[in-house]
Amino acid sequence: MTAQPRSSRPILPTCLIPPHPSRLAGIPLLIAALVFVGGGWSGPTTLTSAAPTDFQSTEQLPAQFFGQYCQSCHSGSDSKGDFRVESLSLDFADNQNREHWLNVLDQLETGTMPPPGKPRPDANELKALIAWIDGQVAEAEATRQAQQGRAILRRLNQVQYQNTVRDLLHVDLDLSDLLPADSVAGGFDTSAEILNMSSYQLMSYLSAADRVLDAAIAGHRRPAHFQRRINLLEDSSTRRHGVYRHLDDGVAIFSSDLASNIQIVFWNLFTRAPGKYRIRLSAYAYQSEKPVLFHINGGTDNLGDPPSLIGYFDVPPGEPTLIEFVEQMEAGRNIRLLVDTNVRPRDLQRMGGAEQYQGPGLVVQWVEMEGPLLDSWPPPSYRLLFGDRPQARVPDQPDRLEVVSEQPLADAEAILRAFLPRAFRRAVTEDEIQPFLNRVRARLDEGDSFERALRVGLKAVLVSPHFLFHRERVRPPSPSPSNDLPAQPAPLDEYSLANRLSYFLWSSMPDDELFQLAEQGLLSQPDTLREQVERMLIDPRAQAFTENFAGQWLGLTDIDATLPDRQLYPEYDDILRSSMIKEVYLFFDEVLRQNLSIANFVSADFTFLNGRLADHYGIPGVEGLAFRKVDIPPGSPRGGVMTMAAIMKVTANGTTTSPIVRGAWVLDSILGTPPPRPPANIEAVEPDIRGATTIREQLAKHREVVSCASCHVSIDPPGFALENFDVIGGWRDSYRSIGAGEPVTVAGRLMPYRNGPPVDPSDVLPDGRSFRNINEYKKLLLSDSDQLARAVASKLLTYATGVPPTVADRPHLDAIVASVCNQNYGFRSLVHEVVQSPVFRNK
């Protein structure tokens, strides 16, 4: 494990100060600070406390400091907090020991230690020790990076693996049922800390390789083309009495309910082979002046199998509207249609059934399915591997075709020579080709057919560490005029740079253009690198950057971790959920595409809404399911990612909100200053859903615990600033409660919840600045754009390299922030500066 980033101390706006000479010389600023405090520790290798002193001797600085302020509580067998000063070693090269020192640094910087009531150092004493620890850590980390590199060996994560086999072999497969889900460290599933390999995972990759090769080789006849249109007036699934109304031109549907199987299942529209299918339907809104929503699920012949959502749609009233889309589907799947109105089927029956109902509905005329959609056969994956080599029928297997060759060994060698460089994502040597060719030769000698023998070699490639892992290489070192010079971090070679860039922006392997530039040795040139970043960001594959980076940075991958309580939040549904997520992605794309300031992530005058989400936000003038860019009304609390409904949901549980959780999220994701871990044996604060006490009252009592107060002074304010947003991101002036409180009626219907105590979103920051609401808090955040840029840059580097920035990387982070400061903090500019940074370009 490497040292974690040290970014929690105040940062001066770097564009307002000239570069420090030590930065220009490539020396970390905090190492230079060691000169001021005496050049570091010169005592024994194990730290022992010294007698109290006036700190005139900087050589004994740590021992003197701990002896005066820490020894009484953190020494001997009865040491408090399971920490003993004498356990600290001065060997900063040891990763575990370095982590212990960084934990000490956390306590000193946050003011947690020494605790109130104990002798406390003055500012100069504290500053000197912090600088000494920081310098020792930075020096050790810089040495480690020069010797080993920042990034360590890590495998492709699940998304990267699927995208890589897609682009390598032109097969589009869902392998999530075979590959174990990836863990997360540092907020991302690209972390080298968790991307290791187990025997169980290796078995999964063997199974995945078989499925990939089955799809790529396509050893069967061309699937039969299927096209069928269902007229709903003639379909038996719409004959249910009291549920559907038959009109002259279609069937009116007023209500659906998956739980009671009130849905239209198109049993005769099912897929006979895996592939892409085109689905078309004609429909219009009925008895409504507004568009009517509906959705389509995919399922199997077994209604007990959970359905998969294909998509939500809406159609306006009047003339029938044609809906058409293409969906990748497995064999043996059908589709189901459900209308999304507010009326429930049992209520419809009580009102006289579909024939008497006067509310809005959906008229569907016909539904059509066509597929699988194939441009050619054999498919592109086959031609990519085998070119024009023919297939022949396998004896006794009339539906089985097999690749044949008159020169099997020569053809196998040609195929492997073409395949290996793309699979390994770099140039390969003769010695690397031979083991795979030998496998094929051995199977041919045993009498296997050409295809079966070659398949053994191809499968070996797909489970090779050179395919499954990011094996980053460096350029050969330049001759040094002196052996006395300290080792420097090594730049990635051209192919490794191409891979890092491609997996950063596309979550997949490099394309032909990146490979060509790497082969020519041109990619590492700054202008070329900028051109490639621009090209890649406008490519559709860059959607992976939005979904995988933004989705994990902002926590959207946890959107389904909890389900809102139906009693407290009956308005939550799947349409709102999907709309929440899409808003964040569209907003992120806009900020990136237009190179808008990263300040927009905190506060913006626009967002992207559809009618469902606009209604949830109380913003008028937006109707229908389609998203559009919308101006935020003046004075609205919306604007920026912090107040988006998706973010509010992932930072709450299904019942209550917690200023602690939301405050920690803001400190980590927006400010890049994650709070320290809570002390052991501290009970969690659980908000009271009965409304008897407010969360503010509970936290006030919690802060009476001395070990908790120092952290909560930083965590709680941003959390309280967001308290006006409920579990699903709706605005509230009072808490919802079950039990005591004022009854609530919505659209004439009595709600199961009640209005509890009023919300108080005000608080005071640790530096004494106060705010009354979220808009005032946003203004305080915007006063330090440098810190916002530093936080996002750190997240980008962590995601891209698999390792969070360390103290040794701080000068490079300073340079990134200084550069984007002069570019109006543009987010696209920030991505460019991150890629140009030595942290990104070095191993």
715-744: per-residue pLDDT in tens?
889 999 999 999 999 999 999 888 777 888
In a domain, residue 161? The reply is no
The residue type at 95: N
777 and 707 both lie in a single domain = yes
The answer to whether the beta carbons of residues 490 and 149 sit under 8 Å apart is yes
User: What is the residue whose two structure tokens read 């002259």?
Assistant: 248
The answer to whether the beta carbons of residues 498 and 510 sit under 8 Å apart is yes
* DSSP output for 596-612: -BGGGGT--SEEEE-HH
The residue type at 560: D
The residue type at 66: F
260-291: per-residue pLDDT in tens?
778 899 999 999 999 999 999 999 999 999 89
In a domain, residue 652? The reply is yes
Domain boundary among 470, 502, 522: 470
User: Nearest 5°: phi and psi at 775?
Assistant: -65, -40
In a domain, residue 661? The reply is yes
309 and 434 both lie in a single domain = no
627 and 640 both lie in a single domain = yes
327-372: per-residue pLDDT in tens?
999 999 999 999 988 888 888 878 888 888 999 999 999 999 999 9
Between CA 25 and CA 28 the distance in angstroms is 9
State how far Cα 137 lies from the chain centre. 29
In a domain, residue 390? The reply is no
231 and 251 both lie in a single domain = yes
Residue 556: give the domain boundaries. 551-593+603-781
Instruction: Identify the pLDDT of residue 246.
Output: 93
In a domain, residue 519? The reply is no
313 and 233 both lie in a single domain = yes
Domain boundary among 349, 371, 393: 371
How many angstroms separate the Cα of 598 from the Cα of each of 595, 633, 785?
9, 21, 8
The answer to whether the beta carbons of residues 205 and 462 sit under 8 Å apart is yes
Between CA 828 and CA 689 the distance in angstroms is 43
767 and 670 both lie in a single domain = yes
790 and 769 both lie in a single domain = no
In a domain, residue 541? The reply is no
Q: Which residues make Cβ contacts (< 8 Å) with residue 773, sequence separation at least 6? A: 637, 721, 724, 761, 762
Q: Which residue positions in the chain have pLDDT lower than 70? A: 1-61, 63-64, 67-69, 71-72, 75-84, 86-87, 95, 106-107, 109-117, 140-149, 241, 477-488, 678-695, 697-710
Give the burial class of 188: count Cβ atoms within 10 A of its Cβ; 0-12 exposed, 13-18 middle, 19 or more buried: buried
In a domain, residue 466? The reply is yes
Between CA 643 and CA 294 the distance in angstroms is 28
CATH number at residue 290: 2.60.120.260
363 and 446 both lie in a single domain = no
Give the burial class of 423: count Cβ atoms within 10 A of its Cβ; 0-12 exposed, 13-18 middle, 19 or more buried: buried
Q: Number of structural domains, the chain?
A: 5
Instruction: Please give the sequence-ordered ranges of beta strands (E in DSSP) within 287-390, or none if there are none.
Output: 292-299, 308-315, 321-329, 334-339, 361-371
Least Cα distance to 131 among 87, 65, 74, 73 occurs for 65
617 and 696 both lie in a single domain = yes
The answer to whether the beta carbons of residues 506 and 542 sit under 8 Å apart is yes
Between CA 407 and CA 137 the distance in angstroms is 61
417 and 358 both lie in a single domain = no
Q: Which residues make Cβ contacts (< 8 Å) with residue 364, sequence separation at least 6? A: 232, 250, 251, 253, 264, 281, 282, 283, 337
691-711: per-residue pLDDT in tens?
546 667 666 665 655 556 667
Instruction: Identify the pLDDT of residue 684.
Output: 60
Both tokens assigned to 7: 């970014």
Sheet holding 308-315, edge to edge: 264-270, 334-339, 292-299, 308-315
258 and 366 both lie in a single domain = yes
Strands 292-299 and 334-339 come out as antiparallel
Identify any residues that bridge with 797 across adjacent strands, giving them in sequence order: none
Strands 734-737 and 749-758 come out as antiparallel
- Return the DSSP state at 265: E
Does an H or E element contain 764, and which? strand 763-764
Sheet holding 742-746, edge to edge: 734-737, 749-758, 742-746
Least Cα distance to 492 among 474, 476, 478 occurs for 474
Print burial letters for 796-827: b (CB count within 10 Å at least 16), e (below 16). bbbbbbbbbbbbbbbbbbbbbbbbbbeeebbb
655 and 703 both lie in a single domain = yes
In a domain, residue 2? The reply is no
Domain boundary among 148, 170, 186: 148
Least Cα distance to 716 among 733, 736, 696 occurs for 696
